[in-house]
Amino acid sequence: MRNGEQAIDVRGMTKHFGHRTVVDHVDLLVHAGEIYGFLGPNGSGKTTFLRMLCGLLRADDGSGQVLGNDVIHESEAIKRKVGYMTQRFSFWEDLSIEENLDFVARMYEMKNRRAAVRQTIAGLGLEGRQDQLAGQLSGGWKQRLALAACLIHQPKLLLLDEPTAGVDPKARRDFWEQIHALASTGLTFLITTHYMDEAERCHRLAYISYGKLLADGTVDEVIAQVGLTTWSVTGPDLPKLTEQLRHQPGVQQAVAFGNALHVSSDDPEKLERAIAQFRRPPYDWRQIPSGLEDAFISLMQESTDNFLQ
């Protein structure tokens, strides 16, 4: 698959669990060689959607293709072309790195699997640790083993579900450098994350909340779609100011960002009227470009929980 072709092109993907619609008619287009971020709060349907794409769950409705195969009827073919990294570490802790990778290679019935294991160990920087038990690895090395297992059968698409949760900042940075290096070879990624800095490392991204896709595009496009006007405020006793602002008509969010407060609304005129009485010393107000986190907080606040629907 070459850049410019679609690795994922699905429409109307839907999944029900009892009375709940966990994924609600989601459309998604991801190009080959793209790093696509998939964001949303816990319980938003991200993991369910990934599992439908790779054939582990059958969609109740929807159509389209993943790597050229029908997403509903050709799930077995898709499974052999996709690498799926789950949220939780799912390898045998009493087996070594090499033994775990050999087991995965057996599952895929790979020819020359021992050579594939050696090549994967070298490619992911696991040399010298291949005999270490998986249960003895730190979070960052467990992450690297999980990525190696996803890659051993040479997939064309990787679905990574919160792959950096619980690892230190350096391991996260090293991981993303690997992701960009792999994407440069034509490998496609769909990655769920809660980290805004990781979202900004993606070529494009989408935001899903309670099953519904609310925004998608580049970082700048997503921010523009939300359409916020944002002010930054500094001064004393910001918690008290926050509570006062949150009760003002026209203020959609007032959220602490370090030593400042971000005050936002999608109606700039109402926002201007709401903050007018507070724009005096000892507070310093300045209008700033809305950021990705401002946009996502706004989307979360506007979403309706579907648990009781």
CATH number of 6-81+155-223: 3.40.50.300
Task: Name the residue with higher pLDDT: 41 or 245.
Answer: 245
> 193, 39 in Cβ contact below 8 A?
yes
CA-based angle 42:46:49, to the nearest 5?
A: 150
Q: CA-CA distance, 182 to 174, in Å (whole number)?
A: 12
Q: What is the pLDDT of residues 158-185, one digit of tens each?
A: 999 999 887 888 888 988 999 999 999 9
pLDDT computed for residue 149 by the predictor: 92
Whether residue 309 is predicted with pLDDT greater than 50 in this model: the reply is: no
Q: Is the pLDDT of residue 291 over 50?
A: yes
- From residue 226, alpha-carbon distances to 26, 174, 207, 230, 264 in Å are 18, 31, 11, 12, 11
pLDDT in tens, 20-40: 999 999 999 999 999 999 998
**What's the rounded mean pLDDT across residues 207-234?**
95
Q: Whole-model pTM above 0.85? A: yes
**Fold adopted by 229-289:** Alpha-Beta Plaits (3.30.70)
Quote the pLDDT of residue 125.
Answer: 87
**Fold match between domain 6-81+155-223 and domain 229-289:** no
Q: Does the pLDDT of residue 306 top 60, yes or no?
A: no
Break the chain into its structural domains and give their ranges: 6-81+155-223, 229-289
For residue 304, what pLDDT is reported?
A: 64
